Structure 1
Amino acid sequence: MKILIIEDEEALRQNLEEFLTAEQFVVESAPDYDAALDKVMNYDYDCILLDIMLPGGNGLDLLRSLKEAHKKQPVLILSAKDSVEDKVLGLEIGADDYLAKPYHLSELLARIKSIIRRNSRDGEQLITYKNVSLNPDSRQVYVNGQEIVLNRKEFDLFYYFMIRPNKLMEKTTLVESVWGDHSDQADNLDFLYSQIKNVRKKLKEADAQMDIQAVYGVGYKLV
Protein backbone atom coordinates (compact mmCIF):
# COMPACT_ATOMS: atom_id res chain seq x y z
CA MET A 1 0.00 0.00 0.00
CA LYS A 2 1.34 3.41 -1.00
CA ILE A 3 1.07 6.55 1.13
CA LEU A 4 1.79 10.15 0.13
CA ILE A 5 2.77 12.58 2.92
CA ILE A 6 2.18 16.24 2.03
CA GLU A 7 3.84 18.14 4.85
CA ASP A 8 6.18 21.15 4.86
CA GLU A 9 7.64 20.63 8.36
CA GLU A 10 10.75 18.56 7.66
CA ALA A 11 11.15 16.91 11.06
CA LEU A 12 7.50 15.82 11.17
CA ARG A 13 7.62 14.62 7.57
CA GLN A 14 10.69 12.49 8.24
CA ASN A 15 9.15 11.10 11.42
CA LEU A 16 6.02 10.07 9.53
CA GLU A 17 8.09 8.53 6.73
CA GLU A 18 10.08 6.40 9.18
CA PHE A 19 6.99 5.33 11.14
CA LEU A 20 4.90 4.36 8.10
CA THR A 21 7.80 2.63 6.38
CA ALA A 22 8.27 0.52 9.53
CA GLU A 23 4.54 -0.33 9.25
CA GLN A 24 5.21 -1.85 5.80
CA PHE A 25 3.85 1.00 3.66
CA VAL A 26 5.52 2.36 0.54
CA VAL A 27 5.97 6.03 1.43
CA GLU A 28 6.37 9.09 -0.82
CA SER A 29 6.43 12.71 0.31
CA ALA A 30 6.04 16.27 -0.93
CA PRO A 31 7.19 19.37 1.03
CA ASP A 32 5.17 22.05 -0.78
CA TYR A 33 2.12 22.73 -2.93
CA ASP A 34 3.75 22.43 -6.35
CA ALA A 35 5.51 19.14 -5.56
CA ALA A 36 2.30 17.76 -4.08
CA LEU A 37 0.20 18.79 -7.09
CA ASP A 38 2.67 17.09 -9.44
CA LYS A 39 2.50 13.83 -7.47
CA VAL A 40 -1.28 13.63 -7.00
CA MET A 41 -1.88 14.32 -10.67
CA ASN A 42 0.65 11.82 -11.97
CA TYR A 43 0.51 8.96 -9.45
CA ASP A 44 -2.10 7.04 -7.47
CA TYR A 45 -2.04 6.46 -3.72
CA ASP A 46 -3.94 4.30 -1.26
CA CYS A 47 -4.03 7.21 1.18
CA ILE A 48 -2.84 10.83 1.06
CA LEU A 49 -1.89 12.60 4.31
CA LEU A 50 -2.56 16.25 3.59
CA ASP A 51 -1.51 19.35 5.55
CA ILE A 52 -3.70 22.39 4.84
CA MET A 53 -1.10 25.15 5.17
CA LEU A 54 1.64 24.60 2.56
CA PRO A 55 4.37 26.74 0.99
CA GLY A 56 3.02 27.94 -2.33
CA GLY A 57 -0.63 27.09 -1.78
CA ASN A 58 -3.44 25.60 0.27
CA GLY A 59 -4.11 21.91 0.83
CA LEU A 60 -7.81 22.42 0.25
CA ASP A 61 -7.01 23.65 -3.26
CA LEU A 62 -5.27 20.31 -3.88
CA LEU A 63 -8.51 18.57 -2.90
CA ARG A 64 -10.39 20.73 -5.39
CA SER A 65 -7.87 19.87 -8.11
CA LEU A 66 -8.31 16.15 -7.44
CA LYS A 67 -12.08 16.50 -7.62
CA GLU A 68 -11.95 18.52 -10.86
CA ALA A 69 -9.64 15.92 -12.40
CA HIS A 70 -12.02 13.11 -11.26
CA LYS A 71 -9.16 11.42 -9.42
CA LYS A 72 -10.65 9.54 -6.49
CA GLN A 73 -7.82 9.22 -3.99
CA PRO A 74 -8.42 8.69 -0.25
CA VAL A 75 -7.34 11.76 1.73
CA LEU A 76 -6.73 12.23 5.45
CA ILE A 77 -6.27 15.89 6.39
CA LEU A 78 -3.61 16.52 9.05
CA SER A 79 -3.57 20.11 10.22
CA ALA A 80 -2.94 22.29 13.23
CA LYS A 81 -6.01 24.27 12.20
CA ASP A 82 -8.78 22.65 14.21
CA SER A 83 -11.72 24.87 13.38
CA VAL A 84 -15.10 23.34 12.58
CA GLU A 85 -15.18 25.31 9.33
CA ASP A 86 -11.94 23.75 8.09
CA LYS A 87 -13.15 20.25 8.94
CA VAL A 88 -16.51 20.71 7.25
CA LEU A 89 -15.03 22.33 4.15
CA GLY A 90 -12.36 19.65 3.78
CA LEU A 91 -14.90 16.84 4.08
CA GLU A 92 -17.31 18.57 1.69
CA ILE A 93 -14.59 18.96 -0.93
CA GLY A 94 -13.74 15.27 -0.75
CA ALA A 95 -11.49 14.39 2.20
CA ASP A 96 -12.20 11.06 3.89
CA ASP A 97 -11.22 12.10 7.41
CA TYR A 98 -9.63 14.89 9.47
CA LEU A 99 -7.07 14.58 12.28
CA ALA A 100 -5.88 17.63 14.20
CA LYS A 101 -2.27 18.11 15.27
CA PRO A 102 -0.81 17.05 17.60
CA TYR A 103 -1.88 13.43 17.30
CA HIS A 104 -0.65 10.02 18.43
CA LEU A 105 0.95 7.89 15.72
CA SER A 106 -1.15 4.93 16.83
CA GLU A 107 -4.33 6.89 16.12
CA LEU A 108 -2.96 8.05 12.78
CA LEU A 109 -2.22 4.45 11.80
CA ALA A 110 -5.72 3.36 12.80
CA ARG A 111 -7.27 6.17 10.73
CA ILE A 112 -5.14 5.27 7.69
CA LYS A 113 -6.10 1.58 7.89
CA SER A 114 -9.75 2.49 8.31
CA ILE A 115 -9.69 4.76 5.24
CA ILE A 116 -7.97 2.12 3.13
CA ARG A 117 -10.50 -0.53 4.21
CA ARG A 118 -13.44 1.75 3.43
CA ASN A 119 -12.09 2.40 -0.04
CA SER A 120 -11.35 -1.22 -0.91
CA ARG A 121 -13.81 -4.09 -0.98
CA ASP A 122 -16.59 -2.09 0.77
CA GLY A 123 -14.70 -1.88 4.04
CA GLU A 124 -14.51 -5.60 4.74
CA GLN A 125 -11.76 -6.62 7.16
CA LEU A 126 -11.01 -9.88 5.32
CA ILE A 127 -10.65 -9.78 1.54
CA THR A 128 -11.83 -13.02 -0.07
CA TYR A 129 -11.74 -14.13 -3.69
CA LYS A 130 -12.33 -17.73 -4.79
CA ASN A 131 -10.74 -19.95 -2.10
CA VAL A 132 -8.18 -17.34 -1.02
CA SER A 133 -8.50 -14.89 1.90
CA LEU A 134 -6.22 -11.98 2.76
CA ASN A 135 -6.06 -9.96 5.97
CA PRO A 136 -4.51 -6.52 5.30
CA ASP A 137 -3.83 -5.74 8.98
CA SER A 138 -2.09 -8.99 9.94
CA ARG A 139 -0.59 -9.34 6.43
CA GLN A 140 -1.62 -12.99 6.22
CA VAL A 141 -2.88 -14.95 3.22
CA TYR A 142 -4.86 -18.19 3.42
CA VAL A 143 -5.77 -20.76 0.78
CA ASN A 144 -8.55 -23.12 1.90
CA GLY A 145 -7.86 -21.94 5.46
CA GLN A 146 -4.15 -22.80 5.30
CA GLU A 147 -1.68 -19.93 5.50
CA ILE A 148 0.84 -19.37 2.74
CA VAL A 149 3.89 -17.25 3.54
CA LEU A 150 4.66 -14.26 1.32
CA ASN A 151 7.52 -11.85 1.83
CA ARG A 152 6.83 -8.13 2.11
CA LYS A 153 6.85 -7.25 -1.58
CA GLU A 154 5.05 -10.45 -2.59
CA PHE A 155 2.28 -9.60 -0.13
CA ASP A 156 2.03 -5.98 -1.30
CA LEU A 157 1.85 -7.12 -4.91
CA PHE A 158 -0.74 -9.81 -4.23
CA TYR A 159 -2.83 -7.42 -2.10
CA TYR A 160 -2.92 -5.02 -5.05
CA PHE A 161 -4.28 -7.79 -7.27
CA MET A 162 -6.74 -9.10 -4.67
CA ILE A 163 -8.65 -5.81 -4.43
CA ARG A 164 -8.76 -5.62 -8.24
CA PRO A 165 -9.64 -9.14 -9.46
CA ASN A 166 -9.98 -9.60 -13.23
CA LYS A 167 -8.69 -6.09 -13.84
CA LEU A 168 -5.80 -5.71 -16.24
CA MET A 169 -2.95 -3.88 -14.52
CA GLU A 170 -0.18 -2.24 -16.52
CA LYS A 171 3.36 -3.10 -15.46
CA THR A 172 4.25 0.51 -14.68
CA THR A 173 1.16 0.88 -12.47
CA LEU A 174 2.11 -2.22 -10.49
CA VAL A 175 5.69 -1.05 -10.04
CA GLU A 176 4.67 2.46 -8.93
CA SER A 177 2.16 1.10 -6.43
CA VAL A 178 4.42 -1.51 -4.82
CA TRP A 179 7.90 0.00 -5.18
CA GLY A 180 7.14 3.73 -5.28
CA ASP A 181 7.03 6.63 -7.71
CA HIS A 182 9.65 6.82 -10.46
CA SER A 183 10.61 3.14 -10.03
CA ASP A 184 8.86 2.59 -13.37
CA GLN A 185 11.82 4.41 -14.90
CA ALA A 186 14.17 1.53 -14.08
CA ASP A 187 16.16 0.12 -17.00
CA ASN A 188 14.08 -3.07 -16.92
CA LEU A 189 11.26 -4.60 -14.92
CA ASP A 190 12.77 -8.03 -14.37
CA PHE A 191 12.28 -7.64 -10.61
CA LEU A 192 8.49 -7.43 -11.19
CA TYR A 193 8.48 -10.61 -13.23
CA SER A 194 10.50 -12.37 -10.51
CA GLN A 195 8.09 -11.36 -7.73
CA ILE A 196 5.02 -12.38 -9.75
CA LYS A 197 6.64 -15.70 -10.60
CA ASN A 198 7.18 -16.40 -6.87
CA VAL A 199 3.59 -15.51 -5.97
CA ARG A 200 2.19 -17.66 -8.79
CA LYS A 201 4.28 -20.62 -7.63
CA LYS A 202 3.07 -20.32 -4.04
CA LEU A 203 -0.57 -20.02 -5.12
CA LYS A 204 -0.27 -23.06 -7.38
CA GLU A 205 1.40 -25.17 -4.69
CA ALA A 206 -1.45 -24.29 -2.30
CA ASP A 207 -4.13 -25.21 -4.90
CA ALA A 208 -5.50 -21.66 -5.12
CA GLN A 209 -8.38 -21.31 -7.55
CA MET A 210 -6.75 -18.34 -9.25
CA ASP A 211 -3.68 -17.32 -11.18
CA ILE A 212 -1.88 -14.13 -12.17
CA GLN A 213 -1.91 -14.14 -15.94
CA ALA A 214 0.38 -12.13 -18.18
CA VAL A 215 -1.15 -10.09 -20.99
CA TYR A 216 1.55 -9.74 -23.60
CA GLY A 217 2.91 -6.23 -23.96
CA VAL A 218 0.59 -4.74 -21.35
CA GLY A 219 0.75 -6.24 -17.86
CA TYR A 220 -0.99 -8.77 -15.61
CA LYS A 221 -4.37 -9.62 -14.12
CA LEU A 222 -5.67 -11.90 -11.39
CA VAL A 223 -8.13 -14.47 -12.78
Structure 2
Amino acid sequence: MKLLLVEDELDLQESVVEYLQSEGFSIETASNYPDGEDKISMYNYDCLIIDISLPGGSGLDLIRLLKEKDTEAGVIIISAKDSLDDKLIGLDIGADDYLTKPFHLSELNARIKSIIRRRSFKGGNVLDFNEIKISFDSRKVFVNDKEVTLTRKEYDLLLFFITNKSKVLDKEAIAEHLWGDNMSLVADSFDFIYTHIKNLRKKLIDAGCKDYIHTAYGVGYQFEDK
Protein backbone atom coordinates (compact mmCIF):
# COMPACT_ATOMS: atom_id res chain seq x y z
CA MET A 1 0.00 0.00 0.00
CA LYS A 2 1.40 3.37 -1.02
CA LEU A 3 1.00 6.58 0.99
CA LEU A 4 1.76 10.25 0.46
CA LEU A 5 2.61 12.51 3.42
CA VAL A 6 2.35 16.26 2.77
CA GLU A 7 3.94 17.88 5.81
CA ASP A 8 6.38 20.79 6.17
CA GLU A 9 7.62 19.98 9.69
CA LEU A 10 10.65 17.91 8.73
CA ASP A 11 11.13 16.27 12.15
CA LEU A 12 7.52 15.08 12.15
CA GLN A 13 7.81 14.04 8.52
CA GLU A 14 10.86 11.92 9.29
CA SER A 15 9.21 10.30 12.32
CA VAL A 16 6.04 9.44 10.41
CA VAL A 17 7.96 8.01 7.46
CA GLU A 18 10.18 5.86 9.67
CA TYR A 19 7.24 4.51 11.66
CA LEU A 20 4.97 3.76 8.71
CA GLN A 21 7.77 2.11 6.74
CA SER A 22 8.32 -0.18 9.72
CA GLU A 23 4.62 -1.08 9.40
CA GLY A 24 5.18 -2.21 5.82
CA PHE A 25 3.90 0.85 3.95
CA SER A 26 5.59 2.49 0.99
CA ILE A 27 5.51 6.22 1.65
CA GLU A 28 6.46 9.31 -0.33
CA THR A 29 6.67 12.86 0.98
CA ALA A 30 6.11 16.47 -0.05
CA SER A 31 7.11 19.44 2.11
CA ASN A 32 5.07 22.21 0.49
CA TYR A 33 1.97 22.86 -1.58
CA PRO A 34 3.61 22.86 -5.06
CA ASP A 35 5.37 19.54 -4.44
CA GLY A 36 2.18 18.03 -3.08
CA GLU A 37 0.26 19.29 -6.10
CA ASP A 38 2.81 17.74 -8.48
CA LYS A 39 2.69 14.35 -6.80
CA ILE A 40 -1.09 14.24 -6.61
CA SER A 41 -1.28 15.16 -10.31
CA MET A 42 1.27 12.56 -11.43
CA TYR A 43 0.85 9.56 -9.13
CA ASN A 44 -1.79 7.41 -7.46
CA TYR A 45 -1.86 6.58 -3.74
CA ASP A 46 -3.92 4.40 -1.45
CA CYS A 47 -4.04 7.02 1.31
CA LEU A 48 -2.78 10.59 1.77
CA ILE A 49 -1.90 12.36 5.02
CA ILE A 50 -2.14 16.09 4.46
CA ASP A 51 -1.36 19.06 6.70
CA ILE A 52 -3.66 22.05 6.23
CA SER A 53 -1.09 24.83 6.70
CA LEU A 54 1.62 24.41 4.06
CA PRO A 55 4.20 26.71 2.48
CA GLY A 56 2.66 27.93 -0.76
CA GLY A 57 -0.95 26.98 -0.16
CA SER A 58 -3.59 25.13 1.80
CA GLY A 59 -3.86 21.38 2.25
CA LEU A 60 -7.62 21.75 1.76
CA ASP A 61 -6.96 22.80 -1.84
CA LEU A 62 -4.82 19.68 -2.30
CA ILE A 63 -7.78 17.58 -1.18
CA ARG A 64 -10.00 19.36 -3.70
CA LEU A 65 -7.42 18.67 -6.42
CA LEU A 66 -7.27 15.02 -5.40
CA LYS A 67 -11.03 14.62 -5.56
CA GLU A 68 -11.06 16.07 -9.09
CA LYS A 69 -9.07 13.00 -10.15
CA ASP A 70 -12.02 10.80 -9.17
CA THR A 71 -9.66 8.64 -7.13
CA GLU A 72 -10.63 6.20 -4.39
CA ALA A 73 -7.63 7.18 -2.24
CA GLY A 74 -8.29 7.83 1.43
CA VAL A 75 -7.40 11.17 3.05
CA ILE A 76 -6.40 12.02 6.61
CA ILE A 77 -5.98 15.67 7.59
CA ILE A 78 -3.36 16.49 10.21
CA SER A 79 -3.27 19.98 11.68
CA ALA A 80 -1.96 21.91 14.66
CA LYS A 81 -5.26 23.80 14.67
CA ASP A 82 -8.13 22.10 16.47
CA SER A 83 -10.59 24.13 14.44
CA LEU A 84 -14.13 22.85 14.03
CA ASP A 85 -14.53 24.90 10.84
CA ASP A 86 -11.39 23.36 9.25
CA LYS A 87 -12.51 19.91 10.31
CA LEU A 88 -16.00 20.33 8.86
CA ILE A 89 -14.66 21.81 5.60
CA GLY A 90 -12.12 19.01 5.26
CA LEU A 91 -14.67 16.27 5.83
CA ASP A 92 -17.18 18.00 3.57
CA ILE A 93 -14.77 18.12 0.60
CA GLY A 94 -13.87 14.46 0.92
CA ALA A 95 -11.40 13.81 3.76
CA ASP A 96 -11.99 10.59 5.70
CA ASP A 97 -10.49 11.58 9.04
CA TYR A 98 -8.89 14.43 10.99
CA LEU A 99 -6.05 14.30 13.52
CA THR A 100 -4.94 17.22 15.66
CA LYS A 101 -1.22 17.60 16.39
CA PRO A 102 0.44 16.30 18.45
CA PHE A 103 -0.75 12.75 17.88
CA HIS A 104 0.58 9.28 18.56
CA LEU A 105 2.06 7.56 15.51
CA SER A 106 0.26 4.36 16.49
CA GLU A 107 -3.06 6.22 16.26
CA LEU A 108 -2.20 7.56 12.80
CA ASN A 109 -1.27 4.04 11.73
CA ALA A 110 -4.55 2.63 13.07
CA ARG A 111 -6.59 5.26 11.23
CA ILE A 112 -4.74 4.65 7.95
CA LYS A 113 -5.38 0.92 8.23
CA SER A 114 -9.03 1.54 9.03
CA ILE A 115 -9.47 3.64 5.89
CA ILE A 116 -7.70 1.10 3.68
CA ARG A 117 -9.82 -1.71 5.13
CA ARG A 118 -12.98 0.20 4.28
CA ARG A 119 -11.87 1.07 0.78
CA SER A 120 -9.96 -2.03 -0.36
CA PHE A 121 -11.00 -4.79 2.04
CA LYS A 122 -14.70 -3.89 2.43
CA GLY A 123 -14.16 -3.21 6.12
CA GLY A 124 -12.48 -6.50 6.90
CA ASN A 125 -8.90 -7.57 7.43
CA VAL A 126 -8.79 -10.30 4.77
CA LEU A 127 -8.92 -10.07 1.00
CA ASP A 128 -10.02 -13.24 -0.80
CA PHE A 129 -9.62 -14.13 -4.45
CA ASN A 130 -10.61 -17.76 -5.12
CA GLU A 131 -7.94 -19.88 -3.39
CA ILE A 132 -5.79 -16.86 -2.47
CA LYS A 133 -6.22 -15.15 0.88
CA ILE A 134 -4.34 -12.00 1.96
CA SER A 135 -4.25 -10.92 5.60
CA PHE A 136 -3.76 -7.16 5.64
CA ASP A 137 -2.58 -6.66 9.23
CA SER A 138 -0.09 -9.52 9.22
CA ARG A 139 0.93 -9.07 5.56
CA LYS A 140 0.61 -12.83 5.07
CA VAL A 141 -0.55 -14.65 1.96
CA PHE A 142 -2.23 -18.07 1.88
CA VAL A 143 -3.08 -20.41 -0.98
CA ASN A 144 -5.65 -23.04 -0.04
CA ASP A 145 -5.02 -22.02 3.59
CA LYS A 146 -1.29 -22.76 3.33
CA GLU A 147 1.02 -19.78 3.90
CA VAL A 148 3.19 -18.67 0.97
CA THR A 149 6.31 -16.69 1.85
CA LEU A 150 6.65 -13.61 -0.34
CA THR A 151 9.14 -10.77 -0.39
CA ARG A 152 7.84 -7.28 0.36
CA LYS A 153 7.81 -6.38 -3.34
CA GLU A 154 6.04 -9.63 -4.26
CA TYR A 155 3.41 -9.01 -1.56
CA ASP A 156 2.86 -5.42 -2.77
CA LEU A 157 2.65 -6.64 -6.36
CA LEU A 158 0.06 -9.33 -5.55
CA LEU A 159 -2.07 -6.90 -3.55
CA PHE A 160 -1.84 -4.35 -6.40
CA PHE A 161 -2.92 -6.99 -8.90
CA ILE A 162 -5.87 -8.27 -6.86
CA THR A 163 -7.21 -4.81 -5.98
CA ASN A 164 -7.04 -4.01 -9.71
CA LYS A 165 -8.15 -7.42 -10.98
CA SER A 166 -9.26 -7.60 -14.62
CA LYS A 167 -7.55 -4.27 -15.37
CA VAL A 168 -4.60 -4.18 -17.76
CA LEU A 169 -1.75 -2.59 -15.81
CA ASP A 170 1.05 -1.16 -17.89
CA LYS A 171 4.66 -1.55 -16.81
CA GLU A 172 4.96 2.14 -15.92
CA ALA A 173 2.02 1.91 -13.50
CA ILE A 174 3.48 -1.20 -11.86
CA ALA A 175 6.93 0.40 -11.55
CA GLU A 176 5.45 3.59 -10.10
CA HIS A 177 3.45 1.62 -7.54
CA LEU A 178 6.37 -0.54 -6.43
CA TRP A 179 9.16 2.03 -6.47
CA GLY A 180 7.41 5.41 -6.17
CA ASP A 181 9.96 8.22 -5.99
CA ASN A 182 12.68 5.76 -7.01
CA MET A 183 10.92 4.73 -10.21
CA SER A 184 13.68 6.42 -12.23
CA LEU A 185 16.03 3.66 -11.07
CA VAL A 186 14.10 1.10 -13.15
CA ALA A 187 12.55 3.32 -15.81
CA ASP A 188 15.20 2.49 -18.42
CA SER A 189 14.62 -1.24 -18.06
CA PHE A 190 11.59 -3.09 -16.79
CA ASP A 191 13.51 -6.33 -16.26
CA PHE A 192 13.02 -5.85 -12.51
CA ILE A 193 9.25 -6.00 -12.96
CA TYR A 194 9.49 -9.15 -15.08
CA THR A 195 11.68 -10.80 -12.43
CA HIS A 196 9.28 -9.96 -9.57
CA ILE A 197 6.27 -11.15 -11.57
CA LYS A 198 8.02 -14.36 -12.60
CA ASN A 199 8.99 -15.11 -8.99
CA LEU A 200 5.51 -14.28 -7.67
CA ARG A 201 3.83 -16.43 -10.31
CA LYS A 202 6.13 -19.39 -9.57
CA LYS A 203 5.54 -19.23 -5.81
CA LEU A 204 1.77 -19.11 -6.26
CA ILE A 205 1.68 -21.94 -8.79
CA ASP A 206 4.04 -24.10 -6.70
CA ALA A 207 1.62 -23.63 -3.78
CA GLY A 208 -1.25 -25.00 -5.89
CA CYS A 209 -2.66 -21.75 -7.20
CA LYS A 210 -4.04 -21.28 -10.69
CA ASP A 211 -2.06 -18.93 -12.92
CA TYR A 212 -4.00 -15.68 -12.85
CA ILE A 213 -1.23 -13.39 -14.14
CA HIS A 214 -1.54 -12.89 -17.88
CA THR A 215 0.67 -10.92 -20.22
CA ALA A 216 -1.00 -8.16 -22.23
CA TYR A 217 1.52 -8.15 -25.04
CA GLY A 218 3.08 -4.80 -25.72
CA VAL A 219 1.26 -3.22 -22.77
CA GLY A 220 1.76 -4.90 -19.41
CA TYR A 221 -0.04 -7.48 -17.28
CA GLN A 222 -3.54 -8.45 -16.22
CA PHE A 223 -4.66 -10.41 -13.15
CA GLU A 224 -7.76 -12.31 -14.18
CA ASP A 225 -9.50 -15.65 -13.77
CA LYS A 226 -9.71 -16.79 -17.38
**TM-score, with structure 1 as normaliser:** 0.96
TM alignment of 1:59-74, pairs within 5 A: 59-74=59-74
Residues 161-208 of structure 1: per-residue CA shift (max 9 Å, x gap) = 121222211111111111113505621011110000000001111111
TM alignment of 1:71-220, pairs within 5 A: 71-181=71-181, 183=183, 186-220=187-221
Larger RCO (alpha carbons 8 Å, 6+ apart) = 1
* Partner Cα distance (2:67, 2:143) in 1: 39
Residues 35-72 of structure 1: per-residue CA shift (max 9 Å, x gap) = 00000011000110100000000000111122234334
Residues 85-116 of structure 1: per-residue CA shift (max 9 Å, x gap) = 11111010011111111111111110011111
Structure 1 range deviating more: 167-176 or 37-46: 167-176
User: For 2:122, what is the secondary structure of its paired residue?
Assistant: helix
Counterpart contact for 1:130–1:210, Cα < 8 Å? no
* Partner Cα distance (1:71, 1:113) in 2: 18
* Partner Cα distance (2:182, 2:104) in 1: 31
User: For 2:48, what is the secondary structure of its paired residue?
Assistant: strand
Instruction: Determine what percentage of the aligned residue pairs are the same residue.
Output: 49
* Partner Cα distance (2:68, 2:26) in 1: 26
Question: Counterpart amino acid of 1:222?
Answer: F
Question: Counterpart amino acid of 2:223?
Answer: L
Question: Counterpart amino acid of 1:214?
Answer: T
User: For 2:81, what is the secondary structure of its paired residue?
Assistant: coil
Which blocks of at least 5 consecutive residues in structure 1 are unaligned?
A: none
Q: How many correspondences in the alignment?
A: 223
* Partner Cα distance (2:13, 2:45) in 1: 17
**TM-score, with structure 2 as normaliser:** 0.94
* Partner Cα distance (2:69, 2:116) in 1: 21
Counterpart contact for 2:52–2:59, Cα < 8 Å? yes
Which blocks of at least 5 consecutive residues in structure 2 are unaligned?
A: none
Counterpart contact for 2:75–2:97, Cα < 8 Å? yes
User: For 1:75, what is the secondary structure of its paired residue?
Assistant: strand
Partner of 2:40: 40
Counterpart contact for 2:45–2:73, Cα < 8 Å? yes
